[in-house]
Amino acid sequence: MDWSVQQIAKLAGTTGRTLRHYDDIGLLRPSRTGNNGYRYYGQESLVRLQRILLLRELGLGLPAIAEVLGNEADAEHALGRHLAWLLQEQDRLGRQIASVRHTIEALQTGGKIMADEMFDGFDHTKYQEEVQQRWGKDAYAKSDTWWRGMGAEEKAAWTEQSRQLGADWAAAAESGVPADSAQAQDLARRHVEWLRGIPGTPAASPAAGGTPAAPPAAGGPAGGKNGAGPDIKGYVTGLGEMYVADPRFAANYGGADGAAFVRDALKIYAETEL
């Protein structure tokens, strides 16, 4: 069985124009073209379209999606990994919804706000295994202690600071300013200052608690693996590359294009200021 452009556009919540554009750039070819010139899509094309839409939701641009699809030819394996991530996100969002509901109820009734309920779903523990595998158990333990040691107001302030920094990066990228502009370099300075306050980065100041590895939710890995000495310049440059390579990070900066802008600005800042 196959489906027409109009049928697939309706089912997928997209447009026929978009599907035709995907065909024109080689991202999604129809399974066949009828004698009347109409495009028709079979099962293999539908699976590919599902993967495209999933990657779009992560903020990836079309060139990046084409690269991902080209590198991951096994659709079943790739979708399996994406499903695992979606299930993790489902659990995290469910806990966030519950925590926000608790806060609203407390505000409406004048009840006591419980910090351990307010931030359920906002912590970085879902990255524990990944951080421990990459940078060791001690690295995770130190960064985890830092986060859990903050009070509710401190956590809220840090979360808002992180969100605002990401939003400012995305806005600057969208505006089209160059990476070496004063605006972009001021953002790079703010970014490095933000990293200095996070235990787990080579950029961390002594007051922040040394240089254990920060969890992905906080901003990235430490510079030297397994306790190597910090290389702040290399760390900041490498972090920018990771923002582009990992969709989880790119989503914080408006997608792949925004992450590339952050990477370029951080590289310039690192080379001139660090």
So what's the pLDDT on residue 210? 44
pLDDT in tens, 220-251: 443 343 334 457 888 888 888 888 887 777 87
Residue 117 lies in a domain: no
Residue 151 lies in a domain: yes
pLDDT confidence tier of residue 25, bands split at 50, 70 and 90: very high
Domain endpoint, select from 11, 45, 73: 73
Please give the mean pLDDT across all residues of the chain: 78
CATH code of the domain containing 8: 1.10.1660.10
Domain endpoint, select from 58, 73, 88: 73
Residue 254 lies in a domain: yes
So what's the pLDDT on residue 147? 73
Domain endpoint, select from 73, 104, 128: 73
So what's the pLDDT on residue 119? 60
Residue 248 lies in a domain: yes
Task: Tell me the C-alpha distance between 155 and 134, whole Å.
Answer: 25
- Domain of 24 in residue numbering reads as 3-73
Task: Tell me the C-alpha distance between 215 and 132, whole Å.
Answer: 10
pLDDT confidence tier of residue 90, bands split at 50, 70 and 90: confident
Least confident of 73-82, 128-137, 224-233: 224-233
What mean pLDDT comes out for the span 99-126? 69
Choose among 51, 124, 61, 81: nearest CA to 250: 61
Residue 135 lies in a domain: no
Residue 81 lies in a domain: no
Residue 47 lies in a domain: yes
Residues 171 and 255 in one domain: yes
- Is residue 143 within 8 Å of 214, Cβ to Cβ? yes
Q: Is the pLDDT of residue 127 over 60?
A: no
Beta strands 3-4; 32-33: pairing state = unpaired
Number of domains in the chain: 2
Residues 149 and 63 in one domain: no
